């Protein structure tokens, strides 16, 4: 978490937390993108960003959904 400002991480987690029947849930796909836009950091590996965000989300009592799928933007045509 050292490379990201705590206030940015907390702001993104709060903004991306959705209320579900099972409690508060944070989508890492959405949170990673939001942090990149907020900070302008488009070079840090997704894993580093997701790890920093998930640590903050878990410490705030949120469930974390790791829903990022590499290559999800690629359409496979039969």
- Could you report the per-residue pLDDT of 44-53, keeping only the tens digit for each? 999 999 999 9
Question: pTM for this structure?
Answer: 0.80
Instruction: Domain of residue 55: give its range.
Output: 6-65
Residue 73 maps to a domain: no
Residue 39 maps to a domain: yes
Contact 53, 32 (CB under 8 A): yes
pLDDT in tens, 15-33: 999 876 567 899 999 999 9
Q: What are the helix (H) ranges across 17-70? A: 28-39, 46-59
Residue 61 maps to a domain: yes
How far, in Å, CA of 70 to CA of 67, rounded? 10
- Helices and strands in the chain, H and E counts: 3, 3
- Residue 18 structure tokens: 């959705």
Contact 4, 48 (CB under 8 A): no
Residue 74 maps to a domain: no
**What total number of domains does the chain contain?**
1
The confidence score (pLDDT) of residue 19 equals 76
Residue 1 maps to a domain: no
């Amino acid at each position: 978490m050292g490379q990201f400002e705590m206030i940015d991480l907390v702001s993104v987690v709060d903004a991306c937390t959705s209320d579900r029947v099972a409690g508060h849930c944070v989508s890492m796909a959405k949170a990673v993108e939001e942090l990149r836009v907020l900070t302008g950091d488009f070079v840090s590996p997704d894993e580093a960003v997701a790890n920093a965000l998930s640590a903050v989300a878990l410490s705030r009592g949120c469930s974390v959904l790791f829903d990022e799928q590499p290559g999800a933007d690629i359409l496979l045509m039969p």
